[in-house]
Amino acid sequence: MPEYKAPLRDMQFVLHEVFKAEQLWQSLPGTEEVNRELADAILEESAKINENLIAPLSQSGHEEGVKWDEGVVTTPKGYPEAFKQLAEGGWGGLSGEPDYGGQNMPKMLVLLFEEMLYSSNIAMGLYLTLTSGAALAIDSHASDELKEKYLPNMYSGQWAGAMCLTESHAGTDLGMIRTKAEPQADGTYKITGTKIFITGGDHDLTENVIHLVLAKLPDAPAGSKGISLFLVPKVKVNDDGSLGERNGVNCGSIEHKMGINASATCVMNFDGAEGYLVGEINRGLQGMFTMMNYERL
């Protein structure tokens, strides 16, 4: 099996000698305390964990793949334990908002960690960075109440995140989506519909999965101008932050694809699931693009 060796010296050269990153960080609010020594320590530790823990799982994980059994999704051997170590090391909260437990490291630095993660094991990288992207969208667009309730456990890696856009009849044309959001008297919404090709839609790495779902209200305008964004947890969260009853969110099957077999690419069914509006009604694409653009990087 080929071994992964992080290009640490190349990364440090580009970061410090080409981009003069330390000067940039110390001139920007929020990153003044990030210096070369801290950046190098993060990159060196990242290289160790990716070379010794994450990369060795890539081939075996690809060969074993993700399993689906009556709605229960199981990742390959070693993945839950490795993800837990990533979470305990704080890697999921590197770029997160400090008010909710994130570390507020510069994206330029976080991107190098993510490059190592994707290079050593792209399936593991998807689970972690989808959570980071979902957290960024929540932090950028959700109410303070939702931020306080969900972000700390997402940054800590206790909960994961997923992005639910695509439907079987509406690939890139999101204006055609049929997933419904029905307003409830208590301010929540009932989300009903099916999404396909949902990376990290369900798995056994975390105790909860926080879905960001595009849906339409009954009186929504036609096309993309009628799309709203909702936070829909796999397991409901009580007011005190503890986990409650299972929400109406289920994995109907695992998609068959040519590669990245250790990544759970799911068909997700929402059956009157309890959801919470993120941002403004009918302006859901703006919120979702925050996550989409993060994932594209």
Q: 161-296: what fold?
A: Butyryl-CoA Dehydrogenase, subunit A; domain 2 (2.40.110)
Among 245, 223, 222, CA closest to 234? 245
Task: Work out the pLDDT band at 2, boundaries 50, 70, 90.
Answer: confident
- The Cα 277–Cα 239 span in angstroms is 17
Would the pLDDT of 275 be above 90? Answer: yes
CA angle, 133 then 65 then 254, to 5°: 65
Q: What is the pLDDT of residue 105?
A: 96
Q: Hey, which residues does 210 pair with through a beta bridge? A: 161, 233
Q: What is the mean pLDDT of residues 266-287?
A: 96
pLDDT score of 173: 74
Mean pLDDT of 213-242: 94
Structure tokens at 17: 């000698």
Contact status, residue 206 vs residue 193, Cβ threshold 8 Å: no
* Span 22-30, average pLDDT: 92
What confidence score (pLDDT) does residue 87 get?
A: 96
Whether pLDDT at 254 is above 80: yes
- CATH 1.10.540.10 domain residues, the chain: 8-138
| pLDDT value for 169 | 83
pLDDT score of 1: 61
pLDDT given at position 94: 95
Instruction: Specify the pLDDT at position 295.
Output: 84
Residue-by-residue DSSP string for the chain: -PPP---HHHHHIIIIIIS-HHHHHTTSTT-TT--HHHHHHHHHHHHHHIIIIITHHHHHHHHH--EEETTEEEPPTTHHHHHHHHHHTTGGGTTS-GGGT-----HHHHHHHHHHHHHH-HHHHHHHHHHHHHHHHHHHHS-HHHHHHHHHHHHTTSEEEEEE--BTTBSS-GGG---EEEE-TTS-EEEEEEEEEEETSS-SSSSEEEEEEEEB-TTPPSGGGG-EEEEEESEEE-TTS-EEEEPSEEEEEEPP-SS-TTS-EEEEEEEEEEEEEESSTT-HHHHHHHHHHHHH-
Q: Please report, in angstroms and rounded to a whole number, the separation of the first and last CA atoms in the chain.
A: 28
Within 8 A by CB and 6+ apart from 48, the residues are none
Please write the tens of the pLDDT for every residue from 49-106.
999 999 999 999 999 999 999 999 999 999 999 999 999 999 999 999 999 999 999 9
Write down the pLDDT at residue 171.
66
Q: Give the separation between CA 297 and CA 293, rounded to whole angstroms.
A: 6
Question: Which part of the chain is CATH 2.40.110.20?
Answer: 161-296
Superfamily of domain 8-138: Acyl-CoA dehydrogenase/oxidase, N-terminal domain (1.10.540.10)
pTM of the model: 0.95
- What pLDDT, in 10s, does the model give residues 111-160? 999 999 999 999 999 999 999 999 999 999 999 999 999 999 999 999 99
Which distant-in-sequence residues (6+ apart) come within 8 Å of 221 by Cβ?
282
Please tell me the least confidently modeled range out of 160-174, 182-196, 262-276. 160-174
Per-residue pLDDT reduced to its tens digit, 172-227: 677 789 999 999 999 999 999 999 999 999 999 999 999 999 999 999 998 889 99
